[in-house]
């Protein structure tokens, strides 16, 4: 793990990375990754509440998004299994992307043709299909992003990916979907969203497969432990060790016992934000805001403020280091969640009220995104990128998604003010853990890990 920066370049040289074809391609892949996430989370919550589904049921349906939190379970399959026909035509990474994109589109069509007020279980099933295929797409895109270019271009790849991701989440899957739903109905909105997945489909056909996609990682488990059996059992054991055991052994070999603290921090960092998120749109609707006001504040204005926050977060990482940036963003995430309790207490449905709370929350989210992505990237070994990155992102989402399922129960029992105070308090463990890591993690001591990663390329 390293928090040190790579070799410095001039501003002109740095900006030139955004002309690289693969960096540009990540803009569209990011869009394809972000779009389905919001359609099975915040936008779906708005749909369900709009047709009268109870808040408790909405909270339970949000558990379909747990799929993103457990994608590490099948990430080794995406990493090592070749899809018949598609693999020979497109390669390992692109074949999995295409298959996943088609699955997302099919699931969205199924959601569009379902009435959640009459058949909530069928809606939840199609939402689960979308979430599973979307999580699979994320695994393949993450692996492609890291394998497609050299280390010095990874910053540009991450930048365009985040821009496309926010476009999919905030503008198209968020604001645009709400605008269409208000004018033409939810079914039409989701059918159009299914068609929008064509952006990712076409992009995958245009981009080239990474030259390093077939690279075999150097084993970190001793050979005798990999080959005690012969025949099919031996092959199965060796595949299991290489694909599943070795990435975890590598992580703890590099981080020791501190690895447990790191994983705990990764799992708790976004706990407050995710828990609040599932009840945000139902809260706006119950407060009396129109769908147009919600879309404008949370998606259009929210996107601009998030981009500004992400830029400021990148500046913080550069100026004061990733650990200090993580600390500041963790504190801001906790404090800005209190603004929603203020909204509930204030009780006004004027637009400026939602604009203030959402802007502050999104600015903090943008800062935290830049800091946290930089931190997660520093934790990943190039030899096991797909599985390790899936582990980190799964841990990042799992605790919050589990707690979010009970959000409706808390709101129904205690009201919104208590719920938002509770959600804000969930940010305290992350603050304490980052303080602990700041004390025991030395960026200079960890620098050889980054150097070894760069040399391996």
Please write the tens of the pLDDT for every residue from 204-253: 999 998 875 444 445 555 444 545 555 556 566 666 666 667 777 888 88
Please write the tens of the pLDDT for every residue from 416-433: 889 889 989 999 999 999
Residue ranges of the domains in the chain? Answer: 20-210, 233-452
Query: Which distant-in-sequence residues (6+ apart) come within 8 Å of 386 by Cβ?
Result: 75, 78, 79, 139, 142, 143, 146
Please write the tens of the pLDDT for every residue from 3-56: 444 445 454 555 566 677 888 898 899 999 999 999 998 899 989 989 989 888
CATH code at 20-210: 1.20.1250.20
pLDDT at site 330: 92
Please write the tens of the pLDDT for every residue from 311-361: 677 667 666 777 888 899 999 999 998 999 998 888 787 888 888 888 999
> Which two tokens mark 371?
């800091």
Smallest Cα–Cα separation from 262: which of 333, 310, 323? 323
Query: Which distant-in-sequence residues (6+ apart) come within 8 Å of 133 by Cβ?
Result: 36, 100, 101, 102, 103, 104, 107
DSSP-derived secondary structure letter, 114: -
**Where are the extended beta strands (E) located within 112-269?**
none
Do 20-210 and 233-452 share a fold?
yes
Instruction: State the residue for tokens 């207490």.
Output: 345
Q: Encode burial over 70-81: b for 16+ CB neighbours within 10 A, e otherwise.
A: bbbebbbebbee
CATH superfamily of 233-452: MFS general substrate transporter like domains (1.20.1250.20)
Instruction: Please give the Cα distance from 364 to 195 (Å, whole number).
Output: 32
* 1: confidence class by pLDDT, cuts 50, 70, 90: very low
Is-above-0.85 flag for pTM? no
């Amino acid at each position: 793990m390293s928090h040190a920066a790579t070799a410095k370049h001039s501003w002109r040289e740095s900006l030139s990375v955004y002309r690289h074809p693969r960096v540009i391609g990540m803009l569209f892949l990011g869009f394809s990754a972000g779009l389905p996430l919001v359609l099975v989370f915040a936008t779906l919550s708005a749909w369900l509440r709009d047709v009268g589904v109870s808040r408790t049921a909405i909270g339970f349906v949000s558990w379909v998004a747990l799929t993103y939190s457990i994608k590490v379970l099948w990430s080794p399959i995406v990493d090592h299994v070749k899809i018949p026909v598609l693999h020979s035509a497109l390669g390992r990474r692109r074949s999995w992307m295409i298959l996943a994109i088609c699955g997302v589109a099919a699931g969205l069509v199924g959601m569009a043709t379902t009435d959640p007020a009459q058949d909530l279980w069928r809606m939840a099933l199609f939402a689960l299909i979308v979430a599973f295929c979307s999580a699979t797409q994320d695994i393949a895109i993450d692996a492609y992003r890291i394998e497609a270019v050299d280390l010095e271009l990874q910053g540009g790849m991450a930048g365009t990916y985040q821009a496309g991701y926010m476009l999919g989440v905030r503008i198209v899957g968020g604001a645009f979907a709400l605008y269409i739903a208000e004018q033409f109905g939810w079914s039409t909105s989701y059918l159009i969203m299914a068609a929008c997945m064509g952006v990712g489909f076409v992009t995958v056909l245009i981009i080239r497969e990474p030259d390093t996609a077939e690279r075999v990682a150097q084993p970190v488990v001793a050979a005798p432990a990999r080959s005690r059996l012969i025949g099919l059992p031996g092959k199965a054991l060796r595949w299991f060790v290489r694909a599943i055991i070795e990435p975890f052994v590598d992580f703890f070999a590099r981080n020791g016992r501190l690895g447990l603290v790191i994983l705990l921090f990764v799992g708790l960092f976004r706990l407050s934000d995710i828990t609040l998120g599932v009840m945000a749109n139902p809260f706006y609707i119950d407060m009396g805001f129109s769908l147009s006001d919600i879309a404008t504040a949370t998606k259009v204005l929210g996107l601009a403020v998030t981009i500004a926050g992400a830029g400021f977060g990148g500046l913080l990482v550069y100026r004061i280091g990733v650990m200090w940036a993580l600390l500041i963003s963790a504190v801001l995430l906790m404090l800005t969640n209190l603004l929603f309790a203020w909204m509930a207490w204030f009780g006004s449905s004027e637009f400026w009220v939602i604009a203030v709370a959402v802007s502050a929350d999104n600015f903090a989210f943008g800062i935290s995104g830049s800091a946290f992505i930089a931190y997660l990237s520093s934790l990943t070994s190039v030899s096991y990128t797909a599985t390790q990155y899936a582990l980190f992102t799964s841990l990042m989402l799992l605790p919050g998604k589990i707690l979010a399922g009970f959000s409706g129960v808390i709101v129904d029992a205690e009201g919104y003010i208590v719920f938002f105070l509770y959600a804000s308090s969930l940010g305290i463990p992350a603050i304490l853990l980052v303080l602990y890591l700041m004390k025991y993690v030395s960026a200079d001591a960890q620098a050889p890990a980054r150097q070894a990663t760069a040399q391996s390329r």
